[in-house]
A and B are shown apart, each in its own frame.
Chain A
Amino acid sequence: MSEVTLFGLGASALVGIGLYGFIIQPEPLRRLLAFNLLGSGVFLLFGVIARRGAAAGMGGDPIPQALVITGIIVAFAGSALAVALLLRLHQADRGGAAPGGDAPPAGGGDGDRT
């Protein structure tokens, strides 16, 4: 078995591991972690396909490789938004107190809108 196929099988396993964690974990942050694992498995599959397309003196097909770079950045942006959302959700669960300590002003607190 070539090392490219080996990494391809590893990437398939990563997708499965990530998907399992995403379904099983009750905690939002752990789900986000698992989702990132799943995503990196998909990126790795792209990498394997790129490596198989090695030609013209290049180690791999540059198009899927460039798409993966774009994908990693977009995945990060999504993760950052998810972290912000789950921290806000956590605050709302605790009664709408925002970070910085002080309680929301009486009437029309921030907790109402979350």
Chain B
Amino acid sequence: MTLAWAFDAILAATVLAVAAWTIVARETFAAVVGFVAYGLLLALVWVRLAAPDVALTEAAIGGGVTGVLLLGAAARLRGTAGVLVDERPGAAMRLVVGVLCGIVTAALAATVLLLPDPAPTLAPEAAANLTTTGVGNPITGVLMAFRALDTLLEKVVLVLALIGVWSLAPDRFWGGAPGPERRAQPDDALVFLARLLPPVGIVIGVYLLWVGADEPGGAFQGGALLAAMWLLAMMAGLATAPAVSERRLRLVLVAGPAVFLAIGLAGFALADAFLAYPEAYAKPLIIIIEVVKMLAVAATLGLLVMGPPERPPQR
């Protein structure tokens, strides 16, 4: 047994223990904190699975932004948990559910053990065609060229989710700004952090986007980091959330999928298919899409966390 194997075994056991804790913890708030820790541990697992791009996404979104979202929700729902304790299923029911979930796990585990060997893979095809995209990171190549349709649809899903969240606003708040009003307390530790971190975070976010062409990183990871910095400033009260009816904001939100779609449609004329890039311009086109996408992702993620409008519009 090597040291690396022992590390992996301990990591897997810790991840499972933290996952179980988020289910059995009595306090919802504690469970959410456990979930954030779980997200960060999971990022380590992704590193061990030789997927640093996924690890960055998991740490930034799975642990970070989802953590902020759920912590905010847990804080608002605090004190309502006791009402539902009576609805907890009894011991017999829990046992049955436990056994059934155990069967699901056993079936999946058997599938993992019986996976074909050698494993089917598309890595050689991806490597062979990567030069035509002009990017060096195969993940970016897949996201922006080989499976660009997935990425385009996912951008649309983000905008649709935001429309869904906004549409939950009461009529009198429509067109107002999301989230309660916050006033900065000059001596707060949060305000200090919100002044200290964003300059560094913004630089790292832009770096992640730029380096994503050839190394682990990309528009999602960079955009998530920018969103985190924006959220930090908004939560500290240093930045005000924009009103949902603001035209510039909506332009940024729609620009992500719109620019992608426009370049994709241009593919019909310039290359020979939807979302195909003419070979000489593949790299610049991908960079244009990625820059716009990063800004749109940052704005959309931030606003998804802020929730529906909760302040009357100022006229």
Residues on A close to B: CB < 8 A?
A: 3-21, 23-27, 29-30, 32-34, 36-37, 40, 43-45, 47-63, 65-70, 72-81, 83-88, 90, 98-100, 104-105, 110
B165 adjacent to A9 (CB under 8 Å): no
Residues of A within 8 Å of B180, CB to CB, are: 99-100
Does B308 sit at the interface, judged by CB under 8 A?
yes
Residues of A contacting B173 with CB < 8 Å?
A: 98, 100
Interface contact A37-B45, CB-CB below 8 Å: no
Query: What secondary structure prevails in chain B residues at the interface with A?
Result: helix
B51 within 8 A of A: yes
Which residue on B lies nearest to A90, using beta carbons? Answer: B77
Secondary structure call for the A interface: helix
Docked complex Cα distance between A29 and B77 (Å) = 9
Question: CB within 8 A of A8: which of B35, B61, B112, B150?
Answer: B112
Q: Which residues of A contact B12 (CB under 8 A)?
A: 6-7, 9-10
Q: Are A33 and B139 in touch, CB under 8 angstroms? A: no
Please report the total number of B residues contacting A with Cβ < 8 Å. Answer: 102
B161 (CB) vs chain A CBs: closest residue: A77
Flag whether B195 is at the interface (Cβ < 8 A).
Answer: no
Given contact pairs A66-B150, A70-B154, enumerate 8 new A-B contacts (beta carbons under 8 Å).
A17-B16, A24-B88, A27-B28, A37-B19, A43-B54, A60-B49, A83-B307, A98-B170
Q: Which residues of chain A are within 8 angstroms of B72 by Cβ–Cβ distance?
A: 83
In the complex, whether B81 has a CB less than 8 A from a CB of chain A is yes
Check if A12 sits within 8 Å of B8, measured CB to CB.
no
In the complex, which residues of chain B have a beta carbon less than 8 angstroms from the beta carbon of A68? 51, 54, 57
Cβ of B274 under 8 Å from chain A: no
Chain B interface (Cβ within 8 Å of chain A)? 4-5, 8-9, 12, 15-16, 19-20, 22-23, 28, 31-32, 35, 38-39, 42, 45-46, 48-51, 53-54, 57-58, 61-62, 65-66, 69-70, 72-74, 76-77, 80-81, 84-85, 87-89, 94, 97-98, 101-102, 104-106, 108-109, 111-113, 115, 119-124, 126-128, 138-139, 141-143, 146-147, 150-151, 154, 157-158, 160-162, 164-165, 168, 170-173, 180, 218, 220, 297, 301, 304-305, 307-308, 310-311
Assess the A60–B123 pair: CB atoms within 8 A: yes
| Most B C-beta atoms less than 10 A away, residue of A47, A65, A79, A86 | A65
Provide the bound-state CA to CA distance between A55 and B74, in Å: 44
Kindly state the separation between the CA atoms of A39 and B249 in the bound complex, as whole angstroms. 31
A34 close to B161 (CB less than 8 A): no
